[in-house]
Structure 1
Amino acid sequence: MMLIEETAPAAEALPVTALREHLRLGSGFDSPEEAAETAALTGFLRAAMAAIEARTGKVLLARRFRMRIDEWRDRLAQPLPLAPVDEIMAIRIDDGDGQMTELSAESWRLVPDNQRPLILPTGVILPNVPRRGSVEVIFTAGFGETWQAVPADLAQAVLMLAAQYYEDRGSDSARGGMPFGVSALIERWRQVRVLGGRGHRGGRR
């Protein structure tokens, strides 16, 4: 499976002010030093978000992804590797010779789920993928466009981890591990990762 993040959260959506307050940093002076500090805090927040999303498989702020798999994991149901998913923009099948065919939206449906969203066929099974072909799925995932949409425990975990990165900046131990308090906050959101495809083509033609 190949998963590409096609868009990134806007800087304005990140809780920079909340992180300043968490760290008890001053603000409001509109100086070059504060601008540099804001840029650094934004970087720490993005790094903390990435770490927590990698541990949980949950996308905190909404953005678009492109998933490419060599075949369906199961033609009865294809799980998606991220959650929550609120929209699938397109599903295309590549025949292996450069010909892309977009599946009709009437041939499949999305089953939203905070743990394991699924693509299900509206008929009996999902369409066949040619032996040298692949499937491309373009979708949006995330709890929402703004930080207020992020569940409180995940939002707090990001602030705590970003604060840890800030305090450990310049240290050899920076970003080395997940603090216990952060791990405790995200534990209920963790899931067993699902595979994008079976990796077996014996029954395809």
Structure 2
Amino acid sequence: MLIEETGVAEADLPLEPFKAHLRMGSGFGTETVQEPVLASFLRAAIAAIEARTSKALISRLFTMTVQEWADPQAQALPVGPVRQIVSVTVVARDAMETVIEPQRYWLVRDMQAPLLKPSGAMLPFIPPQGSVEVLFEAGLGESWGAVPADLQQAVLMLAAHYYEYRHETRLGDGCMPFGVSSLIERYRPLRIGLGARA
């Protein structure tokens, strides 16, 4: 289970670049009327691209909760690139929490497959009916300006697509324009062989 602890701040949404992309008029005193609607399409586009690439565009905090390690010698983190592991906490069945010392684990920084690895032989033991919570920071940039230009363009194009077809109810099945798919292709997780982990 993955929880986004901090969302994309309103100030980080590229409203002005999006208005320019849509070629919206200015100087009529109504420039801010549609901002809430535009912001919602930008958030939807960011979420869709992050889901397709398994990358957080703008840095924020996430909590991953698991009942058992996929591999006690290396646990894959579901979104990247991971900037830092903030904490690892083991939660017992009775809800008692034990914060694991940072010296007992380390982060493998990888754009496609970041890993939490033990400093020793194995990651901390998870008690029966317990869980572990990994709080980490992930993102390609601290702000919109630090996001790679091709992903910025993909967000604007996809948000514009949502805006243009906002009244169309027949578009579905994860519809994404070809131009957007091309821009994000190199950021998508690699799959090698049958059943390979993304």
TM-score by length of 2: 0.91
8 Å Cα contact 1:165/1:174 also seen in 2:
no
1:157-204 CA distance string (max 9 Å, x none): 100000111111212245651111111111111115959xxxxxxxxx
State yes or no: 1:184 paired with 2:177.
no
Equivalent residue pairs, number: 192
8 Å Cα contact 1:8/1:63 also seen in 2:
yes
Structure 2 residue matching 1:64: 3-state secondary structure: strand
Structure 2 partner of 1:9: 8
Structure 1 residue matching 2:31: 3-state secondary structure: helix
Structure 2 partner of 1:148: 145
Deviation at 1:140, TM superposition (A): 1.0
Structure 2 residue matching 1:47: 3-state secondary structure: helix
The CA distance in 2 between the partners of 1:105 and 1:166, in whole Å, is: 45
TM-score by length of 1: 0.88
Quick one: which of 50, 54, 78 aligns to 1:53? 50
1:45-81 CA distance string (max 9 Å, x none): 0000001111110000111111100111111111100
The CA distance in 2 between the partners of 1:28 and 1:144, in whole Å, is: 32
Quick one: which of 71, 75, 98 aligns to 2:72? 75
1:115-147 CA distance string (max 9 Å, x none): 111111111111211121111011111112211
Aligned-residue CA RMSD in angstroms? 1.7
In structure 2, give the amino acid aligned to 1:146. S
Q: Unaligned 5+ residue runs, structure 1?
A: 196-205
Deviation at 1:8, TM superposition (A): 0.9
Q: Unaligned 5+ residue runs, structure 2?
A: none
The CA distance in 2 between the partners of 1:172 and 1:137, in whole Å, is: 39
Determine what percentage of the aligned residue pairs are the same residue.
Answer: 52
Structure 1 partner of 2:22: 23
